[in-house]
Every structure is written in structure tokens, then in C-alpha cells.
A and B are shown apart, each in its own frame.
Chain A
Amino acid sequence: MSELKQPGMKPMAETEARARAGAVASGSDKPTGAGAHVSGRHPMEAGKGAQLGRTIAFVGLVVLGVMFLVPFAFQVLVSLSTVADVDLLTQLGFPPTLKPDNYEGVFEQVPFAKYYFNSLFVAGWATLLQVITCSMAAYAFSRVRWVGRDKVFLLYLGTLMVPGVVLMVPNFVIILELGMFDDYTGLIIPAAFSAYGTFLLRQFMLTIPSSLDEAAAIDGAGHWRIFTQIILPLARPGIIVLAIFAFLFNYNSFFWPLILTKSENLRVLPVGLLQFDSTYGSDTPKIMAASLMSMIVPVILFLLLQKYLVRGIQLGAVKG
């Protein structure tokens, strides 16, 4: 939590500080950054007014939180209904017959386990390769001084501005020519490189003090040792950020697998779900069950690595 730039407490007007007596952040007592006080109250009229403002803000948060969660609750209820009861669900508020075997049915009607495996397999490999290639390139851009480094880096930066749609058509042709069409390699290899990831890790590595690798160099360490034993461990937070981004992006990726795969046993979850919807579109409960199951992995990942993800978004973007 302390990593999250949780705005710490900063005594502003004395009265206000007293009003918030119970609100001193425990995990983050560093006095950086006070929050914006926009609840519309005057600092001098603290006390009850401030408490009221906070209560109203809390109620607002709860209302919004419920609004963001209710669709998922609805999804769970639909996934437990029978087809006939779906239309009645909003009238009744609860399915007349709970039917948990919708979840089983998904696996019977389509090779859902195969879709799941494909998604994890492709996203996993793409993430691993991307982390390797990007961290090596970032090392070359941040730790080694060489002729033309800045020019090449500028080229990398320049392509960040090229919209993804421009790359779709030529990449399709290239994959076709390389014989990677309708194959795992066609899904994994193009995702194994990323200008954005290189940029992100370079920014991270630049924050590592150069005295560390200089000291190692004096001790006789070569570049490979400095890279693997000093820079990589210190850049771990950045690498985790990149890994989450890469994994989530490839797990959710839809356009590319859609145009690049034809055979059923290569379908990843998003493509499989779309196919499922167009074939069994009227079986809403099973579709909700399938989509709910495909959401589990990102949610678990997010709950485990939330602080890295949040920091990554804030860091990568603000500095960009």
C-alpha cells in the first residue's frame, strides 16, 4: 500500500488535522503529497462539516462500487439459470431453478479446456520471450554507451506512435510468407518483441545508480554478469510490471488470433468465446458461464500483483 502513492497526511489547517484525527495514514507516514480537497468544504469550517463531506464521499464510493460490481453479480445469476428463465431473471431477481451444470456444459459443447490452454500457453510464452528480449535491449540502451544509441532509440520511440492498425496487414502477409499462419508460432513470435516494453524497462534501468555496475566492473565482472546479477534483480519491479502488461495484453488479444488462426484447436479464449456465441447464441447462461470462467485468470493476477500494475501504469505513462 505504501508503494501506491497513497496520499499521506499533511497537516494543513490545524483544525482540519484535528477533524481527521482518526485518519492519519498508518502505512504511509511520509509527508508527501496531500490529497486534493475538493469535497467543497472550507478548511476553516472543519469539524462536523468535514466529517459530513467524508461521509458523503464514502456513500458515493459505495454507490459507484455497487454499480461496478452489480453486472458481475448479474452475470453469475444468469450463468446459473436455465435458458427458459433468463428472460424472467430481471422480473424475479433470482433464478427459479439453479443450474450449476451450465459450467460443465460449456466444456461439453466446445473444447473450452483447449481454448484455455491455448490462451495461457500463448500469453505465457509471449510474456517470457518479451521480458527476455526487452530487458536485454533495455540494458543495451541504458547501460552501454555506443555510437548511434540515441538514434536507434529514437527510432524505437517513433514507432510507438504508429497506430496498431497500420501493422496488421503487413504483419499478416509476413506471417503468411514465413509459414507461421495457423500455428502457435504465429501467435507467439510477433508478440515476443515490444518497443513499448523496451522503453518501459529502459526507464526503470536508468533509475538504478550506475555506481553499482561500475563497482562490479572494477571487480572484473563482464556485461553479461552485470546484467544478470545486478541489473536484472534491481529492475525486478519493472520486469514484473512489463510481465503483467504483456500477459494481460496477450491473454485479451483478439484481433490478431482471429485473423491468424483457422483451426479449432488453435483458438484462444476470446476467439473461442466469439465462436461459441455465434454458434450457441441463444444459450445465454452457458455463454455467461464461459465468459465468467475466462475472467478468472486476470482477476487472480490482478489481486496478487495489484500494486505493481498500478505503479506500472502511473510510471510508464507519466514519464512517457
Chain B
Amino acid sequence: MIGSGRKRLLIALLFLLPNLAGFLLFTAGPVVFSLYLSFTDTSLTEHNRYSDASPRWVGLDNYARLLWGDESVFFWDYFWNTVFLMIGIPLSIFGSLALALLLNSKATPAKPKSRWLLSGVAAAFTLIACFGTWVLAAPDEAARAVMSTETGLTDLTVYEVQTLRRNGLTLFVGLVGVVVTAGLGIGQMFFRAAFYLPTLLAGVAMFLLWKTLYRPRGGLINAVLDPILGAVETMVEATPAWLWYGLGIATAALGVFLSVRLTVTGVGRLRHGDVGPAAFGTRVMLTLTLLASMVGLGVVLAQLPAKALLPSGYLPLTPEQSDRALASFEGELGGEYDELEFTAVRSNFERGPAFEDLVARLASIKSEEATARVQRHVAETTRRAAEEGVLSREEAVASVEAFIAEFDVASAPASQLRELVADPDRTPQLRVLVDAMSVALVRTFGERIADVLDPLAPADGAAFTKAGAGRAIDAVAEAFAGEFEPAAIEAVRRELTTVAYRDAYSQLVSIAGEDNEAAVAAILTETASRDRAGLTAGAGLEPPEWLISSRWAKTALIIMGVWLGIGGGNMLLYLAGLSNIAPELYEAAAIDGATGWQRFIHVTWPQLAPTTFFIVIMSTIGGLQGGFEQALVMTQGKADTIVLTYYLYNLAFNGNFQLGLASAVAWIMFAIIFAMTAFNFRFGSRMTNE
């Protein structure tokens, strides 16, 4: 060592100075300062350089206000929100372990030669698969002129829709192919990078991406969930309800049985001294988790028939049902809501379609059928396929006249048709003719419907009531018996004469207040379920509205958190931990004839205990402080997603600058973190030593 003791101290201080100054000013000093602040009523709006007032020492007042005083309602609410979000931590840790094990399973070829060979094959195969998808999913040329009838896509032709789907599918196939190729060629490192990517990018940009993924409509997540829930629903509808009750009860019973067995063997081992009390504690916790999840799954399974068949989603309430619901709403919650708003909701519930809308909607059912009939007619009269090509004027006129006679076309559309084919400036094209004839047919049909509806329409041009529209639709269905697809007319009836259960629910809750949410749900469910035998499809399992609904927003944040964190630092730590396990242990286990699972339980898991211990501590510390950015970006604190850090932000920076109170929040969080860490150390370090 160079120099004397004093000189060394001087040199060390010189080296340390820049860092130490910053450390004292921005880390060590603030800790003390913050503690001081938490005992004062410091508020920037009152105590700043422009005012003479100085903060008062209030002792433990801030803490009392938070824990049981006037702020305690908020504090505990946000505290439990934070705890709820921490449910994601164990999921994320187990996920990280699973990913690390998967990465470590030598699934990718290691020899360069086989690597290049295999990835070359995969690349070639990817090209072939993309090309194959492109060819096999090619759009139907014949559908170029046919407009799509799918919801939301009516602006596009079927051909366009198919082209776009082909593109999307090819893209997806290509993505999978790239993953396979890169996975074979680059190996473990590629997958590790892919898993780490979300953690690397975690931040506002990533939360904005997830906000888009969670959109109830047009979001990727519900687009994936929708068909799955639909399949489950069909399955539930097709099977007797008792099957699901039975399955639910069986699952729950199995959970109870397994838990009891685990506990009994655990107690036995504890008594024989095979395991220590700490390991027994871990076992108890794992057992409880198993019990809770299996019983939970059982309850979900047993409720499936009720959920799938009950109006949980867009199931409509008929006019009678909504009347009844409004009546009982008024009876049960009378006086608790705003009368004026209620009147608005009531008229909202009762208002049906305008006369023209009803006619147009009923007539439009006919448009597809009309096109088909017209095409048949044109094919017969001109002896040509009704898609492309040009007719001679004589042919066109003859075809139109035959058409008018055959289908009894009303006078106005008929004269338009005649004008079209007589126009000397235009060549009569088959496709145009078919379109015009279809329109004429629908309009003729519309006039006949209007004739039937006219006597039923409300006076002075007012809109129908929902009940009135129902009667009108009945009259039309009767007058045109056999001409409508019953399913199509049912769809129109449902669309025009009913209130969606969910709309009714949200409107009533909005005027009755969230406190009465349960009461509103009870009223609606009872009203609707009385007649549920008469109501069929369109109900049931709907994907949640994630970030908008108070019930699902926190779960949405948890799912996102798991996705973000599962492949991050924890996975890398587990990978390092796995590579540090002495191979001799596995060899010994293999000689003892241990199976894969036994090797995991008796070698891998205990050997990873220090890593797990470290991860658990760091994750709980992080989890208690986390959730602020997510909530601020994705929900702006709505939908019951405010966590403690968010609360601190609101108190200190978002408006009222109550720095004293905010500091107290921070110190309570510190105390909780400290207690949890101390507990973990006491409990965990014993566990890892066993």
C-alpha cells in the first residue's frame, strides 16, 4: 500500500468526494429529511419561498390520519389494491423458473453444423409455408363484386376481406417460421433475448402498447378470447348442466383430498424429523395455494352453465322485461337516484326505431336473397353467367321487362330500371344490371312492408316505441309468412325492440350510484332470468372490458405485469442458478433411480433456494412500490387501480403538494417493506439452509 494512514484517507476521500457528495445530498440526506417532513404539515402551497409561514411540527398526526383518521379510507383502499396487484408476483416467479428450465433443457441443437443445417431447412420450410399459405388462402375471384355482410366490414367486398386475411395469415406463418429458424440457428440466446425483450422495454411505451392490446373492441386480447369463450359457451350449451356441476364439485373435492393428503404426509415427515418447521411452512403455503386454486376452478366450472346461459353480456331485455326492471328499480331504489336522469333512461329504454328505419331494416334482410334471385333471373333470361360482360341493348331491355313482370316490381323502381337500360350513353353491363335489379327488388319489398306498417305507425311521424316496433314486426312477419328467414327477422326484432342487458345495467348504475351496483344487478338478473327459457343465443360469456371495468382492471395489470416480468432479470438469475448446480448431484440422483420430477424436487428446487429467496425479497420490495406508472398510463387511476405510490404522487405532486402527508405514506411503505424483508430473512434463510 502506498503512503501513510492519513495520506491514504486523504486520497480515498478525494476519490470518493464526487460520489459521496451526491450520495449525501440525494440519498442519505433526503432519508433523514423525509423522516422529518413526515412529522410536519409541510405543504408547498402554504410553505414556500413566497410565504412567511413555516411548517408546523405535528408529531405522529400524519400517520394517525393515514392509518385511522380522515385519510384512512383512501389509504387502506389503495393499500389493498397494491396487495391485490402483488398476486402477480408468485405467478411471475414460477413462470420465470419454468422459462429458465425450458431454456436450460438443451432443446436447441448445439453443434454448429447441425445448427446451420437445421436452420437452413427451417428457413426453406418457412418460405414454402408462406408461399403455401399465400396460395391456399387465396381470395375467391368470384367474390369480387359481393359485399361482405360481416359486422363492421360491410364497406369491403368479400374478395378484399379474404385478401387481407390471407396477408395476415401469411405474416403470422412467417413470424412462426422466423422464430423456428432463428431458434435453431442462434439457439438458446435467441429465445432468451425474445423473453427478455418485454422487460427491456417496460415503460410508458410498453404500457401504451398494452393499452391498445386491451381495447375491448379491436384489441388483440379480446380477439383471441372471443372465439375461445364462444367455443366454451357452445360446449356448455350442448351439454347438460349437471355435467358441469359434477365436474366442478369433483375438481373441488379432488383439491380438498390432495390438500389433506399433502398435509398428512407433511405432518408425518415433520414428526419423523425429515423436514424442519420452515420447510413444513412452505408446504402448508403451497398446499393452501393448491386448495384455493382447485376449489376456485371448481366454483368456476360449476357456475359455467349459469354464466353461459344467463344474461351476463349483451343479452337483450324485451320491452316487457325492461318495463318490469324499471318498475322494480323505482320500487326498490326509489328516492336514491336523480329523478330527471331516471326519466331520461326510461325514455331511452322505451324509444324504438323511426318508421323509415324499421322499413329499411326489414327490407335489407331481403337484399342478399334478392341478389341471388336476380342473378338466377339474369342467368335464365340472358343465358349468361351474371358477373361480367356486356349485353346488347335488346337483350337488356327484354331481361328487365321480364324481371319487372316476374317479380311484380313497384312502379318507381321499375321506371328507373327502364331508364337505365334505355340510356343511349351507357352500355348495359351485366354486373351493373344485377346490382340495379337487386336494389329495385329490395325497394319493391320495402314498399310492400311500408304498406303493412303504415296503419301501425305512430301519428305525426314520431318514432315507434319499442313495444310498438315489436307489434309492427309481428304484423310484417305475419303478412309475409314464409317469405322471411325466421332467424333473420328474429335478429331484427332483437336489435330494434330490446335493451341490451349490459346497457341497462350501466345506465341504471350510473344514475343509482356504484353503491347500488349489486341491487341493480339483482333486479336485472331476476327480471331477465324469469323468462330466460325464451331467450337464446347471444348471451353468456363475454370477454371483459379490461381497463374500463373496475372488476377487471387490476387483473389486466397483473396479466401485463407477468408478461413483462416473466422473462426478465428473474429468469436470468434462475438460469445462472441452474448452471451453478453441481452435475454430481444429478449423477447421484440418477444412480438412485430418481425420475425427472424427483430430480427437480430433490435436487433442482433445493439447490435454487438461495436464488428463489433473493428473488422473492426483491420482488416483494418492488411490488409494494410498483404499479404507479402502469396505472397512470393505462387507466389514469380510474377503475379502482390507484396503488400506494400513486396515492403518494397524488398527495405530493398532483395538485395539493402535501409533502408532509406524502412523506408519511412513504415511511409507512418503508416500514411494511422492512417488516416483510425481516420476516423473509428470518423465515427464508432458515428454509434455504435446510
Residues of A within 8 A of B (CB): 1, 4-7, 9-10, 12-13, 20, 22-26, 31-44, 53-55, 57-58, 60-62, 64-66, 68-75, 78, 86-96, 132-134, 136-137, 139-141, 144-147, 149, 152, 155-156, 159, 161-174, 189-190, 192-193, 195, 198, 217, 222-223, 227, 248, 252, 254-255, 259, 269-271, 273-274, 277-278, 284, 287-288, 290-292, 294-295, 298-299, 302-303, 306, 310, 313-314, 317-318, 320
Contacts and interface: CB of A to CB of B under 8 A. Distances in A.
Nearest to B165: A93
B382 interface: no
Contacts, number: 394
B180 A62 contact: yes
Interface of B: 1-2, 5, 8-9, 11-13, 15-16, 18-23, 25-31, 33-34, 37, 99, 101-112, 114, 150, 152-153, 156, 160-161, 164-165, 167-169, 171-172, 175-176, 179-180, 183, 188-198, 200-206, 208-213, 215, 217-220, 222-223, 563, 567, 569, 572-573, 575-583, 586-587, 590, 593, 595-597, 599-600, 603-604, 611, 614, 618, 621, 624-625, 628-629, 632-633, 636, 644-645, 648-649, 652-653, 659, 662-663, 665-667, 669-670, 673-674, 677
A167 B628 contact: no
A75 B209 contact: yes
A147 B108 contact: no
9 contacts: A22-B109, A34-B586, A36-B586, A41-B596, A54-B105, A86-B218, A144-B1, A147-B9, A170-B37
A23 B653 contact: no
B292 to A, nearest CB: 25
A167 B30 contact: yes
Contacts of B653: 172, 259
A32 B12 contact: no
Contacts of A271: 204
B5 A277 contact: no
A170 B673 CA distance: 19
Contact of A36 (B99, B101, B636, B659): B101
A132 B195 contact: no
A149 B12 contact: yes
B604 A66 contact: no
B583 A90 contact: no
Nearest to A9: B110
Which of A78, A144, A192 gathers the greatest number of chain B CB atoms within 10 Å? A144
B18 A136 contact: yes
Interface of A is mostly: helix
Contacts of A78: 212
Q: For the complex of A and B, list the 4 residue pairs with the smallest distance between their C-beta atoms, beginning with the closest.
A: A93-B168, A193-B22, A90-B223, A291-B205
A74 B102 CA distance: 26
Contact of A277 (B112, B208, B217, B579): B208
B198 A22 contact: no
B209 A26 contact: no
B160 A96 contact: yes
A317 B610 CA distance: 11
A34 B585 CA distance: 10
Contact of A25 (B110, B632, B649): B110
A36 B183 contact: no
A20 B106 contact: yes
Contact of B659 (A37, A169, A295): A169
Contact of A13 (B102, B152, B590, B636): B590
A124 B15 CA distance: 22
Contacts of A137: 15-16, 18-20
Contacts of B22: 133, 189-190, 192-193
A273 B208 contact: yes
Nearest to A284: B212
A71 B18 contact: no
B580 A33 contact: yes
B16 A140 contact: yes
A137 B168 CA distance: 55
A39 B629 contact: no
Contacts of B599: 36-38
A163 to B, nearest CB: 5
B508 to A, nearest CB: 27
Contact of B586 (A9, A37, A168): A37
Contact of B105 (A39, A92, A144, A273): A39
B110 A23 contact: yes
A140 B12 contact: yes
A20 B68 CA distance: 64
Contacts of A167: 26-27, 30-31, 34
Contacts of B102: 57, 60-61, 64
A292 B197 CA distance: 13
Contacts of A64: 99, 102, 191, 194-195
Contact of B198 (A7, A68, A259, A318): A68
Which of A25, A144, A165 gathers the greatest number of chain B CB atoms within 10 Å? A165
B633 A274 contact: yes
Contacts of B101: 36, 38
B194 A69 contact: yes
A68 B217 CA distance: 21
A136 B37 contact: no
A162 B183 contact: no
Given A91-B153, A132-B18, A302-B200, A269 B205 contact: yes
Contacts of B197: 68-69, 72, 299, 302
A26 B111 contact: yes
A170 B15 contact: no
A74 B213 contact: yes
